[in-house]
Amino acid sequence: MTRQDRHYRYPWRADNQVELLVDGENFFPAMLQALAQARRYVLLEFYLFESGRLSQRFIHALCHAAERGVGVYLLLDDFGARRLSASERQRLQRANIHLAWYNPLRYGKWRRNLFRDHRKLLLIDGILGFTGGAGIADEFDTSGKPLGWHEVMVAFRGPVLADWQHLFTENWQRLSDTPLPALPVPDHCHRQSQQARLTINAPGQMGVKRSLLRQLQQAQRRIWIATAYFIPSWKIRRRLRRAARRGVDVRLLLPGPHTDHPAVRHAGRRYYAGLLRQGVRIYEYQPRFIHAKLQLCDDWVSVGSSNIDRWNLRWNLEANLEVEGEPLASQMVALFEQDFAQSAEIHYQDWQVRPWYRRLQERGWGWVDRWLERFSQRS
């Protein structure tokens, strides 16, 4: 282990298989099929879990797994699951599914209510795992929905799965008195084996941010980033600008007119001018809301729950899967190129003559962002 690697909770693991799954029409069927085949246990930790057609399919699959004698452990964020109906919560409990809630909302907790479990992971039998940016909510289900959210998940097998199991176990033991079963050590994979690592953000552990900053500094050919919410720290902005000045192909893929939080989009757009002036290329995705969280620096890929915004990096539990080398890097390049082709590129000269009311929106929501930043730092 190198000196720099000691700053990360989990090490690089060899001999893993990672499969890219784009949009809900592809990853939800794979996840539901994996649930149908579960034999020992299911570990599921999600931020968004909302009542709807998709949640009914997942609850049905989870209940059937429990009926077969599979141990089902469901860890949900209390705020992210606020739209899960009381009847569906009762159905889960009647099926003998073990439930735990992260940071229940309480009056009087003030800023402590801001801390959320934003992770998205499904782990099955020590054999297969899924992670990415999706939630169990109908917006992510693109089957037959032209405006379903654009999202990416990955399915993975191999030794890195043990680290994800350890991460879930730690969180579960803090929040529930129900013990977990003994979890097996995943086998090595020998076909298309890849190096992979789990990186996390948690109180006192900024592995996701630290790893991104390191890759931004080291990249020689390309830095392509997709994020649903773009409120970058000063350090991230500086390293993006420096990379562009040294000739790296730096591109940001951000939401266009379709977004669930227009205020966040306006607040992030106030950084466009400074980045564009230094050679960073900015694309806004047009067909629908892009909710994906992807980072590609040369042949290093990071996929997971973390956006490039200060709120994610300060308040949330986050988890990303990092992968080095082929074939995932090539698949990610193809995906980015496809998405760039469906985006509007923002040019510096055009940006300088944008309407006055756009500037006003950026300033107003930028002020709100700065106020929230100061509020979050209070003890």
What is the reported pLDDT for 184?
83
Q: Are 183 and 8 in contact (CB under 8 A)?
A: no
Tokens of 206: 């900024």
What is the reported pLDDT for 110?
63
The structure's pTM equals 0.94
Pick 4-376's CATH classification: 3.40.50.620, 3.30.870.10, 1.10.10.60, 3.30.420.40: 3.30.870.10
What is the reported pLDDT for 3?
43
Query: pLDDT tens digits for the chain (379 residues)?
Result: 444 566 788 999 999 999 999 999 999 999 999 999 999 999 999 999 999 999 999 999 999 999 999 999 999 999 999 999 999 999 999 999 999 999 888 776 666 777 899 999 999 999 999 999 999 999 999 987 778 999 999 999 999 999 999 999 999 999 999 999 888 888 777 676 899 999 999 877 889 999 999 999 999 999 999 999 999 999 999 999 999 999 999 999 999 999 999 999 999 999 999 999 999 999 999 999 999 999 999 999 999 999 998 776 677 999 999 999 889 999 999 999 999 999 999 999 999 998 888 888 888 877 877 776 665 555 3
177 is catalytic: no
Q: Is 221 exposed, middle or buried (0-12, 13-18, 19+ CB in 10 A)?
A: exposed
Residues 6+ apart with CB under 8 A from 6: none
CA 340, 293, 346, 286 dihedral sign is positive
Among the options 15, 23, 125, 309, which is catalytic? 125
Among the options 15, 291, 339, 369, which is catalytic? 291
Kindly list the domain boundaries of the chain, sorted by start residue: 4-376
3-state secondary structure the chain: CCCHHHHCCCCCEEEEEEEEEECHHHHHHHHHHHHHHCCCEEEEEECCECCCHHHHHHHHHHHHHHHCCCEEEEEEECCCCCCCCHHHHHHHHHCCCEEEEECCCCCCCHHHHHCEECCCEEEECCCEEEEECCCECHHHCCCCCCCCCECEEEEEECCHHHHHHHHHHHHHHHHCCCCCCCCCCCCCCCCCCEEEEEEEEECCEEHHHHHHHHHHHHCCCEEEEECCCEECCHHHHHHHHHHHHCCCEEEEEEECCCCCCHHHHHHHHCCHHHHHHCCCEEEEECCCCECCCEEEECCEEEEECCCEEHHHHHHEEEEEEEEECCCHHHHHHHHHHHHHHCEEEECHHHHCCCCHHHHHHHHHHHHHHHHHHHHHCCC
Among the options 138, 249, 298, 299, which is catalytic? 298
Number of C-beta neighbours around residue 183 at 10 A: 18
Between helices 24-37 and 53-67, what is the axis angle to 10°?
A: 20
CA distance 132 to 181: 25
What is the reported pLDDT for 218?
97
235 is catalytic: no
249 is catalytic: no
298 is catalytic: yes
258 is catalytic: no
Number of C-beta neighbours around residue 52 at 10 A: 17
What is the reported pLDDT for 1?
42
CA distances from 370 to 67, 264, 310, 357, 364 (A): 50, 12, 10, 20, 10
Among the options 118, 150, 209, 258, which is catalytic? 118
Among the options 266, 293, 339, 369, which is catalytic? 293
